[in-house]
Amino acid sequence: MLRWRSLVAVGDSFTEGMDDPGPGDTFVGWADRLATLLAAEAPDFRYANLAIRGKMLPEIIEQQVPLAASLKPDLVTFCGGGNDIMVPNSDPDALAEQYEVAVADLRAAGCDVVIFTGFDTRSTPLLRSLRGKVAIYNSHLWSISERYHCHMVDLWSMHVLQDRRAWSEDRLHLSPEGHRRVALRVAKALGLANDGEWNAPWPAAEEAEWMTQRRQDLRWAREHVVPWIGRLLRGESMGDGLAPKRPELLPIARMPEDDRSLTKEKG
């Protein structure tokens, strides 16, 4: 019998589900996909997603973690700090201290907790310079996971995510297939049986010429990185004024159409 009958997801755009389009202007994402898997094992399963794009770790801890604890779910997924790491002069040691306090609060509330390492940025221009800070942060997260007996999802070691097809056009958010694979990876960390293989090799694809790749890199920097830096300097966030997409613990009414791909490898 599945021991988790309720899930609350907290975090930023990664957990909200960008860029995995859902009905209307909503996103699906790995957390919704995971909830569908859990609901298949427990008919009375309930799910809330408090994540909002652009949120920094202190905002997640202040605005989402207390609400998650008050809902008293069996399971909480907690991913945060990625936006903070990208800020110049950010301190991964200080971020980890804040993260640990939040994990302690969730565990004290009786919740099982899933935490995530940061992605390996080696294949992303401009962001590969952050690898050292991400690695330091990850080391702390592994220690926190052991101290508080959390379930760990090691995104850094998911080499399948080094393929560009795992990412959307902005290279900052996962593609639908990237979200599907992360959902299956979390399910594996929780010990759930599933037919999907999160680390299945990608189908063969033609590699673009070197000059074409550089043009794509320049376009990406112009259209996505520069606007992000501008928002950062202005103190703005993509999530300003947005509310959580699923603020209450509610049953999973039905499986979204594309969630059939959770347990079936795409061609």
pLDDT of 238 higher than 80: no
Residue 264's pLDDT is 40
* Range from 30-34, 72-76, 140-144, 192-196 carrying the lowest mean pLDDT: 192-196
Give me the pLDDT at residue 257, please. 43
User: Is residue 23 over pLDDT 50?
Assistant: yes
Cα 184–185–191 angle (5° rounding)? 90
Q: How far is Cα 50 from Cα 11, in angstroms, rounded to an integer?
A: 7
Q: Which two tokens stand for residue 194?
A: 């599933």
Q: pLDDT tens digits, residue range 85-127?
A: 988 899 999 999 999 999 999 999 999 999 999 999 998 777 8
Q: Tell me the percentage of the chain whose pLDDT exceeds 70.
A: 91
Contact 109, 85 (CB under 8 A): no
Positions of E strands within the chain: 6-10, 46-49, 75-78, 112-116, 151-153, 246-251
Report helix, strand or coil for 6. strand
The tokens describing 162, both together, are 């080094």
6-10 and 75-78 beta bridge pairing:
parallel
**Residue 99 CB burial class (10 angstroms; 0-12, 13-18, ≥19):** buried
CA 114 remoteness from chain centre: 11
Residue 234: DSSP 8-state? H
What is the separation of C-alpha 51 from the centre of its chain, rounded to a whole number of angstroms? 9
> 3-class SS at 76?
strand
11 touches 77 (CB < 8 A): yes
Number of CB atoms found within 10 A of residue 167's CB: 20
Which amino acid, residue 141? L
**pLDDT for 217:** 74
Encode pLDDT of 134-153 as tens digits. Answer: 999 999 999 999 999 999 99
According to DSSP, residue 77 is labeled E
What pTM value is reported for the model?
Answer: 0.87
Q: Can you tell me which residue has the tokens 């920097």?
A: 221
Burial 238-257 (b: 16+ CB within 10 A, else e): bbeeeebbbeebeebeeebe
CA distance 209 to 134: 30
Which CA distances in Å does 15 have to 43, 52, 60, 98, 116? Answer: 23, 8, 12, 19, 11
Q: What pLDDT is stored for residue 195 in this prediction?
A: 55
Residue with the bigger pLDDT between 195 and 42: it is 42
